[in-house]
Amino acid sequence: MRNSGVPSRLLIWGAGLALIFLVGNAQAARKVTYLIVEDKAHPFQIVQGSESRGGIISDMVDAIFAGDEYTVDHQVYPINRLRQVVAKEQVNFWVAYEAVHWHTFGNQGLMVEEPLFNTRHVLLTCREDIPDRITRLEQLRGLNLVMLRGFDYQALDSAIEGGLIAEVPIDRYEAGIQLVAMGRTDGFVEMESRLKYHVRTSGVGNTDCLRWIDFSAIIPNFPLYISVDIDWPPAFRDFIAQRIRTLRASGELERIMDHYLGSDYSPNLGFGTAE
């Protein structure tokens, strides 16, 4: 048989490189890059000194990938930088959290079909004349309401633009809670879980007057999901979905919520009924 002209040692060397490449890719695919927002994501993602320090969703992500199959690399970015590195594909095989209407990652991410938990919005207030449940925007007429700068409050945008309510923009949860507790503003609109956490940890004094007004008729409850890099295969999303179902059934997701929010907080983790 005639020799192909390629020295056998080159064939062996080329095969070795191919094997190294395949092994390297397999190892890279097992490393999960978990994207974390540096600021204002407490208690979902807690960051101190630019380092990840847990949080509800961070702990859930670690629980999802617990075991030998995957390793999780927590990477912290300011929100605008995070969007940029994803858009420019400067990070690979990432996961993050997302809501359907946020569109944080554009066409670069796909959401896992199984949600983590549901969110609900409340109006935190010390005013006794505000009803326990807000059912229409007209009930807010003339109110000065604290809102986090740069956040999307959906239905309230038109009320602000039309002069129905006045927005009091703030950059820190603690500042907003203090304004409400001191009676310097009429209320603070935000996710209940975020407000519960910051009321518990902020150290703001004299919060006995605080009332938690149901705001779900104005900003409907919505679920949070895990979003993954489009380069992950479909089987990866299926794996995450099954792990979420397993952790929910075992009570682990609820235990994580209780750790940060207290046992008196009752999120919709089962999604069987509306909140």
Q: Residue 43, preceding bond cis, omega within 30 degrees?
A: yes
pTM of the full structure: 0.84
**DSSP symbols for 90-135:** -S-SEEEEE-TTT-TTGGGEEE-SS-SEEE-EEEEE--TTS-SB--
Confidence at residue 245, expressed as pLDDT on a 0 to 100 scale: 98
pLDDT category at 5 given cuts 50, 70, 90 is low
Choose which CATH entry (3.40.190.10, 3.20.20.150, 3.30.110.30, 3.40.50.1000) describes domain 121-214. Answer: 3.40.190.10
194-198 average pLDDT score? 95
Domains 10-118+222-261 and 121-214 alike in fold: yes
Return the domain boundaries, the chain.
Answer: 10-118+222-261, 121-214
CA 81, CA 61: separation in Å to the nearest integer?
21
**96 closest CA partner among 66, 74, 119:** 74
Rg (CA), the chain: 23
Contact 97, 226 (CB under 8 A): yes
CA 180, CA 222: separation in Å to the nearest integer?
25
**pLDDT, tens digit, 9 for 90 and up, residues 41-94:** 999 999 999 999 999 999 999 999 999 899 999 999 999 999 999 999 999 999
**pLDDT, tens digit, 9 for 90 and up, residues 238-274:** 999 999 999 999 999 999 999 999 877 655 554 433 3
As assigned by CATH, the class of the 10-118+222-261 domain is alpha beta
